[in-house]
Chain A
Amino acid sequence: MALLEVEDLRVSFATPDGQLDAVRGLSFTVESGKTLGIVGESGSGKSVSTQAIMGLVRGARISGSALFDGNDLLTMDSEALRKIRGAEIGMIFQDPLSSLHPYYRVGWQIIEMIRAHDSSIAKDTARTRAVELLRLVGIPQAENRVDDFPHQFSGGMRQRAMIAMAMALNPKLLIADEPTTALDVTVQAQVLEVMKRLQEEFGTAIIMITHDLGVIAEVADDVVVMYAGAVMEEGARDTIFYDAHHPYAEGLLLSLPGYGTRERLVPIAGQPPSLISLPEGCPFRPRCPYAFDRCTETPPLLDVGDKDDHGSACWLPADRKARAGMRHQPATKRPVAKRAAKK
């Protein structure tokens, strides 16, 4: 059994403009010790779905199930869920200040976190553990810095302190929501390195939420591509990068600048749909360069070919060649004319 099995998760909000369906029938699984990458554009429902699972979304209608170690997080009473949060599932967010309290010393916050879940742990044992954790995530002179306030830390250090806090109780699952988006690539590299090391050492499973396909390529074992609140494609990392089936996944990869080439980019036309009035049928239809008559009917997540670990919510045939023939405009990149014009 997988560590986390999310099944048909739906989250909607009532807004003045009508019902907003932020997550629409999302299913995915996370295996122990593995990293699941969730990638998608802003507003695709990445944060809302994981926050809903953790009971952190207010004022929304939520349905579906999320079995963690066999227990449904969505129906669990709030006291039981609170216990799981932190102890069994740690969370890291994009903005470390949202979970580090500005008025309390960093070490104190970690100590409180440890003792809140097990009050039998003595204060100085917890403090020793806090220093150890800060050292583990690469904070220099951890025994001195443990008494610093969050504002005395740089952005990268705060992000690491937050990882230390999320890891304090040795959780089975770490949910990281855009943990490096606000950081420089150099600091991002440090943070990803720390997360990898922790995973190797403790076997923690990770959900890495990001819009950066580079980060996904670096850390994910499996990938879920989200669009308009639903999974468009899922599969092993290399399957998604080298054998994507869904036109949206393909579009994302095509729109990236080629490594070292200066060919004209191939963007996805148009923009994401409003979640209040989605197009009928496939949500990607208005932007899809392959759309055909069948697409007015919503495609379920279908196995691609005979692979049961590769799914795509698209009616196109599994065969690459057959698919390519159905594209309206060619996907070939053409050179930027400016370069040619210059001698």
Chain B
Amino acid sequence: MTTGTSGDVLLRATDVVKHFPVRSGSIFRRAVGAVHAVDGVSLEVRQGETLGLVGETGCGKSTLARCITRLYDLTSGTVEFDGADISKLGASAMRPYRREMQMIFQDPYGSLNPRRRVGSIIGDPFAIHGIASGQDRRRRVQEAMELVGLNPEHYNRFPAEFSGGQRQRIGIARALALRPKLVICDEPVSALDVSIQAQVINLLSDLQKELNLTYIFIAHDLSVVRHVSDRVAVMYLGKVAEIGPSEDIYQKGRHPYTQALLSAVPVPDPRKMEGRARIVLAGDVPSPLNPPTGCRFHPRCPKARDTCVSEDPPLIPRLGDPPIHAAACHFPVEVGEDISLSTPQISESERVIEGGLIGNA
């Protein structure tokens, strides 16, 4: 098995920054600061692969996705799609690219207009891009419905007549109707029960194979991400902390945050769970309004030292890892090292301390 890096680069993000200005309450509404939602992200996605995107809530996953698809203008940086720089294109110049990049969202309830028939919802991309009409459009919509396992005869039904899993299929059918190249799945199965989740994950992987799709897969559930991804990027406070082939990230994560995040996942296998060392991080993610200096993870990191407070570690291969596996950490984790035994070597004022739950538990 390859790690999905054999294909051509379909998408390249370089130093993508997205700041949201925060304005004062006064009538002049001066910008008083900015939420650093995405703060310098560079990554590549290759044709046919699945790149998983993980990280705690608010770390910038959805914002990055919206920058890539240009639903947001970038504050700075560039996005290249299929070799063309699309970062500064206006709405009409973006149009042909919009067809090629589609999104699937988390909420199968909220993202579908309840008063519209399913056939017309799935037909949206055709309408937007002025492709196919009348019977022709209907036929193509029904094809899309069949593709995702919906009964084409349900063309005239309303979303409320479908279950959660079926509604997610409607979202998938809509996203795939125009046969895009890149599909960004933002928490596509989070709102579904496990038994239904498995149906939708299988569907997504069948479709990927059938249509040669490229996925960016955002999810909270790290075992789902591991299951579907060739490579995984771990984000923390608007930056990529670590990126690499899925199994490398899960088995020899170099970044302490990667390790902490993965060790926090409860495994549905009690025997496996027992001997496991868990790294319980102190506190919550700091505010993206005012990210910590140096390495952003230093206030919560069990391995932090003074260098971490002053210097931002670059995202590069560490400890002799291959170029495809990079981590942004000055003191990367060695294979076999148990960081739950580490104690931060920085002054207390630089740390988050919460009820004794620092570093280990």
Give chain A's interface residues, CB within 8 Å of chain B. 41-42, 135-140, 154-157, 184-190, 192-193, 211-218, 237-238, 241-242, 251-253, 255-262, 264-269, 271-272, 336-339, 341-343
Given A137-B355, A138-B355, A184-B220, decide whether A260 and B226 contact each other with a Cβ distance below 8 A: yes
* Cross-chain pairs A/B with CB under 8 angstroms, 11 sampled: A139-B354, A184-B57, A186-B260, A188-B266, A241-B269, A242-B271, A259-B223, A261-B227, A264-B205, A267-B197, A338-B208
The answer to whether A265 and B354 touch across the interface, beta carbons within 8 angstroms, is no
The answer to whether A193 and B227 touch across the interface, beta carbons within 8 angstroms, is no
The answer to whether B261 and A185 touch across the interface, beta carbons within 8 angstroms, is yes
**Cβ contacts under 8 Å, B273 to chain A:** 217-218
Given A264-B202, A271-B163, decide whether A184 and B56 contact each other with a Cβ distance below 8 A: yes
Contact of B136 with A by CB under 8 A: no
- Distance to closest chain A CB from B192 (angstroms): 9
A262 CA / B3 CA spacing, docked (Å): 13
Contact of B278 with A by CB under 8 A: yes
**Cβ contacts under 8 Å, A262 to chain B:** 227-228
The answer to whether A238 and B222 touch across the interface, beta carbons within 8 angstroms, is no
- Distance to closest chain A CB from B176 (angstroms): 16
The answer to whether B266 and A135 touch across the interface, beta carbons within 8 angstroms, is no
The answer to whether A342 and B1 touch across the interface, beta carbons within 8 angstroms, is yes
A214 CA / B220 CA spacing, docked (Å): 14
Given A138-B357, A217-B269, decide whether A41 and B194 contact each other with a Cβ distance below 8 A: yes
Which residue on chain A has the smallest CB distance to residue B56?
A: A184
A135 CA / B201 CA spacing, docked (Å): 42
Which residue on chain B has the smallest CB distance to residue A251?
A: B195
Given A184-B56, A218-B273, A260-B226, decide whether A338 and B205 contact each other with a Cβ distance below 8 A: yes
A42 CA / B191 CA spacing, docked (Å): 10
A214 CA / B276 CA spacing, docked (Å): 14
Told that A41-B194, A185-B222, A268-B198 touch, could you supply 14 new A-B pairs with CB distance under 8 A?
A42-B193, A140-B283, A140-B353, A184-B220, A190-B280, A190-B357, A211-B193, A212-B266, A214-B265, A241-B268, A262-B227, A267-B198, A271-B165, A343-B6
Which of A137, A217, A271 meets B270, CB within 8 Å? A217
**Cβ contacts under 8 Å, A189 to chain B:** 263-264, 266, 278, 280-281
Interface readout for B239-268 with A: 1 if CB under 8 Å, 0 if not? 000000001001100000000110111111
The answer to whether B194 and A211 touch across the interface, beta carbons within 8 angstroms, is yes
**Cβ contacts under 8 Å, A242 to chain B:** 271
Which of B193, B263, B272 meets A259, CB within 8 Å? B272
Contact of B156 with A by CB under 8 A: no
**Cβ contacts under 8 Å, A257 to chain B:** 201, 223-224, 226-227
A296 CA / B264 CA spacing, docked (Å): 43
**Central interface residue in A139, A215, A241, by most chain B CB within 10 Å:** A241
- Distance to closest chain B CB from A225 (angstroms): 12
Closest 9 CB pairs of A and B: A138-B355, A214-B266, A267-B198, A257-B227, A268-B195, A255-B198, A213-B268, A338-B209, A265-B198
**Cβ contacts under 8 Å, B263 to chain A:** 189
The answer to whether A193 and B280 touch across the interface, beta carbons within 8 angstroms, is yes
**Cβ contacts under 8 Å, A264 to chain B:** 202, 205
The answer to whether B209 and A213 touch across the interface, beta carbons within 8 angstroms, is no
The answer to whether B227 and A265 touch across the interface, beta carbons within 8 angstroms, is yes
- Distance to closest chain B CB from A56 (angstroms): 24
Within 8 A of A (CB), among B268-315: 268-273, 278, 280-281, 283-284
Contact of B361 with A by CB under 8 A: yes
Interface readout for B326-361 with A: 1 if CB under 8 Å, 0 if not? 000000000000000000000000001111110001
The answer to whether B355 and A139 touch across the interface, beta carbons within 8 angstroms, is yes
Which of B1, B194, B270, B353 meets A252, CB within 8 Å? B194
The answer to whether A265 and B202 touch across the interface, beta carbons within 8 angstroms, is yes
**Central interface residue in A217, A218, A265, A341, by most chain B CB within 10 Å:** A265
- Distance to closest chain A CB from B46 (angstroms): 11
Contact of B151 with A by CB under 8 A: no
**Cβ contacts under 8 Å, B198 to chain A:** 255-256, 265-268
Contact of B188 with A by CB under 8 A: no
Which residue on chain B has the smallest CB distance to residue A184?
A: B56
A314 CA / B357 CA spacing, docked (Å): 45
The answer to whether B265 and A185 touch across the interface, beta carbons within 8 angstroms, is yes
A253 CA / B194 CA spacing, docked (Å): 9
Which of B199, B226, B260, B269 meets A267, CB within 8 Å? B199
Contact of B35 with A by CB under 8 A: no
A337 CA / B4 CA spacing, docked (Å): 14
Contact of B150 with A by CB under 8 A: no
**Cβ contacts under 8 Å, A341 to chain B:** 209
Contact of B26 with A by CB under 8 A: no
A139 CA / B355 CA spacing, docked (Å): 6
Which residue on chain A has the smallest CB distance to residue B163?
A: A271
A155 CA / B284 CA spacing, docked (Å): 9
- Distance to closest chain A CB from B41 (angstroms): 20
Which residue on chain B has the smallest CB distance to residue A142?
A: B355
The answer to whether B220 and A185 touch across the interface, beta carbons within 8 angstroms, is yes
Contact of B2 with A by CB under 8 A: yes
Which residue on chain A has the smallest CB distance to residue B279?
A: A189
**Cβ contacts under 8 Å, B199 to chain A:** 267, 269
Contact of B159 with A by CB under 8 A: no
**Central interface residue in A215, A255, A264, A341, by most chain B CB within 10 Å:** A255
**Cβ contacts under 8 Å, B86 to chain A:** none
A205 CA / B247 CA spacing, docked (Å): 39
The answer to whether B201 and A187 touch across the interface, beta carbons within 8 angstroms, is no
A217 CA / B265 CA spacing, docked (Å): 11
- Distance to closest chain A CB from B349 (angstroms): 13
Given A41-B193, A186-B260, A339-B1, decide whether A217 and B268 contact each other with a Cβ distance below 8 A: yes
